[in-house]
Amino acid sequence: MPLLIYSALRLLILVAVLVLGYVVGLGGWLLPLVALVVAFAVSYLALPRQREAAALWLAERDRERKERRQRLVDEDAAAEDAALDGDPAARTDGPAERTDDPADSPQQRS
């Protein structure tokens, strides 16, 4: 959620700078260019706390995703080890045989 707040505030600053530039008399391609540069500078200086909160939130999500992925890899490795060690509870029958292979049909053999 902090990322959404930070993005909304940056967008609000950009719109405010665009309106201010229009009122001042900027136009054409110069208006959006100046507005982007000024909005970037203003948001960088005015929103350090929100930027830090968004960065921490993203880092936490990344850490949780990596932990979840590692847990799944560990569970898969444990299941594979159990299957290879002969644990009957962990074994599967393997892939089912295909019987609809066109190469095995009688019409193909003639």
pLDDT of residue 79: 87
44-53 pLDDT, tens per residue?
999 999 999 9
* Burial class of 5 by CB neighbour count within 10 A (0 to 12, 13 to 18, 19+): middle
Distance CA 69, CA 55 (A): 21
| Angle, helices 2-24/48-84, rounded to nearest 10 degrees | 140
* Tens digits of residue pLDDT in 66-77: 999 999 999 998
Every domain of the chain and the residues it spans:
2-87
User: Counting Cβ atoms within 10 Å, is residue 54 exposed (0-12), middle (13-18) or buried (19+)?
Assistant: buried
Global pTM?
A: 0.64
Average pLDDT over residues 8-27: 96
